[in-house]
Every structure is written in C-alpha cells, then in structure tokens.
Structure 1
C-alpha cells in the first residue's frame, strides 16, 4: 500500500465548540491514519477556539497552528512535499490560502467542503468568504459534504475536474451505545443557526409546550437570550464530543434538524445523524431528498414535519418499537457510514487524482524530452 503524506488546512481540529468540522475531521483523519498515512493538520490560531480546545495533542496526526497567512508560509516545505493537500471550507482567509496552496503544492490539491449548499449559495450571491468560482477548477478534487445532483452542478457549472461525495461519518469506538437511564424524551444537539431555528421551534419547542409531561433538552452554544424556552426544555450550552454518547444514551429520541440551504440541495446528512445512529438512539428528522439513501424511513429513522408528528411518536410508540428503530439505524450506519468507510473512499479518490495528474503531466514531459 502507498503511504501518503497528507496536509490538511481546516477550520478546526482542536476545538469542537460551535462547529461540526472538528468531530468530522477527527473521525476521518483518525481512520485515514489507521490506513498507514502521515497527516499534518494546520489550523488558524483564533481566540474563540483557543479558549475552547478539547483536543490539543491528537495521537493520529501532527497538529500545528499558524497565526496569519505570512506565518503559514513556514509550512511551505510540507506543502511542497505532500502527496496531497486538502483545504477545508470556512478556513479563515480561505481564498488567499487556496491560491497559495494551488500555486505551491506539487501533489494533488483538494477542497473539502463540509458546508457545500451554504458554499454554493454564497457563491451565487457573490459572497467569496473562503472560496471563489475561479478557485474551483484549480482543485483536482472537490470533496463534498453533499452528494446527489450537486456533484454534477459543481463539475458542469463551476468546472470542478472531479467532484466526489465525502459525507460526514462516525468513529464507532468514540460513539458506542450506552445503557443508562433516560433523562429526556427528545433531545437536540447543535449550534444555534437562524435558518434551523424555525424547524427547532416546530419540532421540539412547540411539542414541549403541548406536552408538559414530557422532558426535552437543547444542547449547543450561541442561542439568543430572548428565546422563550418552555419550562420542560433544559438548556445545555456545550456538550464536548467525549460526552456525546452519554447525551444520546440519556435521550429516548433525538432530533435531526437541517439547514435550509442543505434541505434545498438534499443529500446533505449532518454528522449528528451518524453519531446518534451509532449510539443506537432513535432519530426523528426533518425531510429532504436523499435521506432515504442513508436510512430507511419508518424502519431506521422517523421523518416528521409537524408538532403532531413528533408527539405521536413520543407519546404513542411502544418501547420495543423505539428500540428496534435505534438498533436498525445503528446496524445500517456501522455497515456503510463509519469513518473507516470514508477514509477508504478518500484514499481511493486521492490516488486516482495522483494518477490523473501523472497522466496529464507525462505528455508535457515527453514533449520536452
């Protein structure tokens, strides 16, 4: 097997506070390292993550921090010597970082978009926070959080040489199913987002108002102080990844809420979907195209639109049916959607990218000869 030297420039590996990137990168890169590869992760040192770091010394890769674009140049030799370099979405000054990496790297250069529908919506309105249309053709591979028709759109509209789905995943060892007493009938774990809030209102807050005998929890940072939480909704500001399995185990059901741009695009599963399923916690989810390709509605996941749908499950489903739903979802996720599955796919795509680069450069070398 070819040992690859990989450099990743991502939003964060060290802190899971306020972002889902860290847990996604941790699971993926741990599994990639287990395949025998060498990884350097470069993270912009920013104060809001610095005070919330919950992984300072990973055992699966080398983690380094840089303070500015100029400081990033310290790692030029690593970029030049890498077999592959991956730049992630929402990297600070990501456009400048992308230009520099594309100009500097000698190996495969890829973009890993953990926010694809949001990214494309930003591009459509001329918001080039971390990516521009002109950068996309310069990335040999566009790894996309979103699958389905979006992949064709990236290649046909934006000129990506190769757009490949790289969904989030889960590390089963980090997300085991635990047997413990239930504290909540329905939980939600996620950072506040204005476009997710209406769904959270409809699928959790309103059911809580109608069912004061049930217990709910919303965990995650950045929720505005003016939200009117019912008395039976507990608020937790942050749950570190190490405590996610216990959080899910204490939930009879957990809620999956998807951002508006991702619902429109479809095929955009949240990392929480995989993590909760790995913990065998039954999931109630909003509805979007492609969810049925991941989990079978009615057997492995419950799809809901209205408060009545949620309350029908919470109040009427017998315990054996609830447990069967969670067990079926767990079996499906462990069979198809672990970090090991994603790492194998990423390795295959990077090796294919290396082969394509070699084939493209060989005619030029032969002409010079």
Structure 2
C-alpha cells in the first residue's frame, strides 16, 4: 500500500526525539513492501542539522510550513493511507483537522508520539478542535501510554486504538568499540525540556554531586546555561549516528522519561532500545509497565532517586554490568524489534481498511 505520513522529521534528530521511532517503523514497513512518503516541515533548524544516514526507504518531502500544506494534502490524496503524527511543531492543529477530513475518501490515522500529553491537552480544553477530529480518524496509533492512553482516546471517541511501542533496529543500534574521549561512569542523552528538567536534576545532577569521584557525561540541547557539577561534562547535541559510541563508552547509561510519560507509564522511549541495542547497562527511571518490557535487576536497573544511582555504581562491577547489558540486548532482539512493530502497524492499517470494506458492503446491501 501507499502510505503518506506527516511528521516532525525523519532525516533529523535535532530537537526531534521521535526521529529514531519514525526511522524504525517506516524502514521496516518499507521492507514489508509498502511505499512510504514522509512529509516534514522546514522548521526548528532540523534541515540544517540533518543526520548522516540512508533514508531512501522513504520518499522524503520537505515543505514550507503553512505555505505548502495544500500541495502536501494533494499529494497525500494519492495514497492508500494517510497518517498525521503528533508533535510536528508547526501547523499541528490545522493538519489534525484537514487529515481527519480526508477520512471521507480514504483511511486516515492519528499516530501519537506523546499520547499522555495529548490526552492531558484534550481534557484541559473543552474547546480543543482535536476533540471533534479524533472520531473521524479510522484509528489512533500510539508509541506508548498503555491502558491509560487507550482509555483516554476511547473516551474521546476514537474508533480504534493500537499501541505501537518504540523498538530496536539492530542495523542502527549495536555494539561498537568504546571511544576514550567519551568514557565515563554514567551517561545521559536528552534535551532540556520543562517537564523533564526536575527529574534530570534529581536523578542525574544530584547523583553526580553525591559521587564526586565518578565521571558523568551529558548530551543534548539546551543545557548550556545550566549550573552543572564539576564532574559532569556537557557535550551538546549528539547526532543519532553517534549514540552507539556514547552508549558503548559509558559504564552505565541513564534513561529519564518526561514527567507525563513517567506518571502514565507503559511508554518506553527510543533511548531505552538504543542502549539495549548497544548491549550497555541501563539505569532507568521507574514507571508503570517497565517490567512488561524488561526484567528489573536482571535486564535493566530501575532507579527512583539519586541514592539508587550511587548505590548501583558501587554495587555492580564491570562484569556484572556486562551481564546485565547482554541480557538487555538479548531481550530486545527477542521481543522488541522494529520489524515486529512494523508488522503491528501494518495489521492496524489492514484491519481498519477491512472495517471500511465491511461498512461499505453493508451500505450497498441496504441500498
């Protein structure tokens, strides 16, 4: 089938944490024989910070925000399936409505990369126009949120809901030799975001202060004016292609979810699977559903405060960390690959198309 998707960016991870997710899902959908067009706006400097890589599995269209929307919709009208991803950053409200209106002619899907935030937004504003758009989409797909997100979307009239979690692309994230310039005891990669900063302060910055004899490494945008402990080094934006080197050079790698995802749970971010692919030992913040993905203590180490980080540094030697990283890697390859996620997305598309055919047949039969 021909799939046309609107998203933030598939070619750039700059201020765009969803890039790895898009690449994994659409790469393996393409391998299943589907033709993908991915339309992304020229916004936020993403096109000026493109990641190196081969993205020929999609046809990438870069459009001017607002100005080119009509042209993009005309191109989308030639597809079998049209997808609107959340969080594009420009024209989101407009596209949410216009793509939903296309459902009269073809299957349309809202594919959410931050469903806890979207549900919170809908509940906070009874005038939000997306409330009227939700029931018009054939289905909502979400990269996380579990039962709470499913129930939330059904509350607002979604016809169907499917969880399509983040995953691992072993071609992209895999073990590499460590880089001496990036060696550290604990690494964390994440942009400075309002709903995550307090959690970073508690789990990462305070842990560095409690363990001044250890080396901490911070990657991501926005931290330039943040006071940091002396044993913590900030290296700025880390392109996706360099994540393996960082992950394989650290004694442990930390994940810190944003507050909304942590409280809702069932939202394993791309970082978790990138680290699993590298076979590194992960320190992961605690959230509901983590044990559905990986076994705490054996495949992943769960932390609830800075003291847990310091305790893990002192309790687990290199051999123990290696065992945990290897188990983490094996579980991801077994249960959490993007090839599996793409098959789930394909099944959601086909089931929705089948429902349309049944409804059409019933209408014709009554006529």
TM over 0.5: yes
Match of 1:11 in 2: 8
What is the alpha-carbon distance in structure 2 between the residues aligned to residue 138 and residue 65 of structure 1? 26
How far apart are 1:15 and its partner, in Å? Answer: 1.4
How far apart are 1:56 and its partner, in Å? Answer: 8.4
Query: Which of 247-256 and 89-98 deviates more?
Result: 89-98
Q: Determine which of 171, 175, 178 is the counterpart of 2:176.
A: 178
1:166 paired with 2:164, answer yes
Query: Which secondary structure state, in structure 2, belongs to the residue aligned with residue 249 of structure 1?
Result: helix
Match of 2:332 in 1: 333
Match of 2:18 in 1: 21
How far apart are 1:77 and its partner, in Å? Answer: 4.3
How far apart are 1:172 and its partner, in Å? Answer: 0.7
Match of 1:288 in 2: 287
What is the alpha-carbon distance in structure 2 between the residues aligned to residue 194 and residue 334 of structure 1? 33
Q: Does structure 2 retain, via aligned residues, the 8 Å contact 1:69–1:97?
A: no
What TM-score, normalized by structure 2, do the two folds share? 0.94
Structure 1 unmatched ranges of 5 or more: none
1:269 paired with 2:268, answer yes
Residues 366 and 254 (structure 1), Cα distance of their counterparts in 2 relative to 1, 3 Å cut: same
Give the 5 Å matches for 1:241-260.
241-260=240-259
Match of 2:155 in 1: 157
Per-residue deviation, residues 183-208 of structure 1 (Å, max 9, x unmatched): 11000011111222222222221221
Match of 1:64 in 2: 61
Q: Does structure 1 retain, via aligned residues, the 8 Å contact 2:184–2:249?
A: yes
Q: Does structure 2 retain, via aligned residues, the 8 Å contact 1:87–1:110?
A: yes
How far apart are 1:38 and its partner, in Å? Answer: 0.3
Q: Determine which of 77, 80, 85 is the counterpart of 1:80.
A: 77
Give the 5 Å matches for 1:2-151.
4-54=1-51, 58-91=55-88, 92-105=90-103, 106-126=105-125, 132-151=130-149
Match of 2:238 in 1: 239
How far apart are 1:152 and its partner, in Å? Answer: 3.6
Residues 57 and 292 (structure 1), Cα distance of their counterparts in 2 relative to 1, 3 Å cut: closer
1:190 paired with 2:158, answer no
Per-residue deviation, residues 107-135 of structure 1 (Å, max 9, x unmatched): 21111110111111122222988x71111
How far apart are 1:62 and its partner, in Å? Answer: 0.3
CA root-mean-square deviation = 1.9
How far apart are 1:55 and its partner, in Å? Answer: 5.4
What is the alpha-carbon distance in structure 2 between the residues aligned to residue 365 and residue 342 of structure 1? 35
How far apart are 1:32 and its partner, in Å? Answer: 0.8
Residues 56 and 193 (structure 1), Cα distance of their counterparts in 2 relative to 1, 3 Å cut: same
What is the alpha-carbon distance in structure 1 between the residues aligned to residue 71 and residue 206 of structure 2? 52
Match of 2:278 in 1: 279
Per-residue deviation, residues 7-46 of structure 1 (Å, max 9, x unmatched): 0000111210112111210111111101111000111122
How far apart are 1:79 and its partner, in Å? Answer: 2.1
Query: Which of 188-197 and 150-159 deviates more?
Result: 150-159
Match of 2:207 in 1: 207
What is the alpha-carbon distance in structure 1 between the residues aligned to residue 206 and residue 72 of structure 2? 51
Q: Does structure 2 retain, via aligned residues, the 8 Å contact 1:147–1:164?
A: no
Q: Does structure 2 retain, via aligned residues, the 8 Å contact 1:122–1:128?
A: no
Structure 2 unmatched ranges of 5 or more: none
Q: Does structure 2 retain, via aligned residues, the 8 Å contact 1:178–1:246?
A: yes
Number of positions where the alignment pairs a residue of Structure 1 with one of Structure 2: 363
What is the alpha-carbon distance in structure 1 between the residues aligned to residue 69 and residue 91 of structure 2? 11
Query: Which secondary structure state, in structure 2, belongs to the residue aligned with residue 213 of structure 1?
Result: coil
